[in-house]
Amino acid sequence: MIQRFLIIVSVTSYVILNFDVILGATTYNGEVGVDLISQILASSGYTHERHEVVTSDGYIITVHRIPPKNTTFNAEPAVLMHGIIGSGADFILPGRNRGLGNILHDQGYDVWLPSCRGTTWSKRHRNLSVTSPEYWDFSWHEIGVYDVAAILDFVTNYTGAEKVHYTSHSQGSTVLMVLLSERPEYNSKIASANLLAPIAFLKNLNSPILRFVSSKTDELEVLLSNLGIYELLGTSALNQIVARLFCDSGSPSQDLCILLMYTVVGFSGHNIDRALLPKIYETTPAGVSTKQIIHFGQLIQSGKFQQYDYRSRQNNYRLYKRTTPPEYNLKNVQVPIQMFYGGQDFLMSRQDVFRLRSALKHLRVSLVEIPGFNHIDLLYSSDAPKLIYKKVISNMRKLSTKH
Cα–Cα distance between 314 and 316 in angstroms, integer?
6
By annotation, the residues acting in catalysis are 170, 375
Which residues touch 148 (CB under 8 Å, ≥6 apart)? Answer: 81, 175, 176, 178, 179, 186
First to last CA, the chain: 60
Cα–Cα distance between 382 and 386 in angstroms, integer?
9
Please, are residues 132 and 98 in contact by the beta-carbon 8 Å criterion? no
Cα–Cα distance between 73 and 49 in angstroms, integer?
19
Which residues touch 280 (CB under 8 Å, ≥6 apart)? Answer: 93, 376, 380
Closest CA to 85 of 328, 289, 360, 367: 289
Cα–Cα distance between 173 and 11 in angstroms, integer?
28
Cα–Cα distance between 359 and 175 in angstroms, integer?
16
Residue type, 202: L
What are the backbone angles phi and psi of residue 205, rounded to the nearest 5°? -50, 135
Q: What angle do CA 34, 35, 41 make, to 5 degrees?
A: 125
- Across the strands, what pairs with 195? 168, 339
Q: What angle do CA 370, 373, 377 make, to 5 degrees?
A: 115
Q: Report in angstroms the alpha-carbon separations of 315 from 182, 321, 337, 355, 385.
A: 20, 9, 35, 30, 46
What 8-state DSSP symbol labels residue 125? B
**CA quadruple 261, 265, 268, 271: dihedral sign:** negative
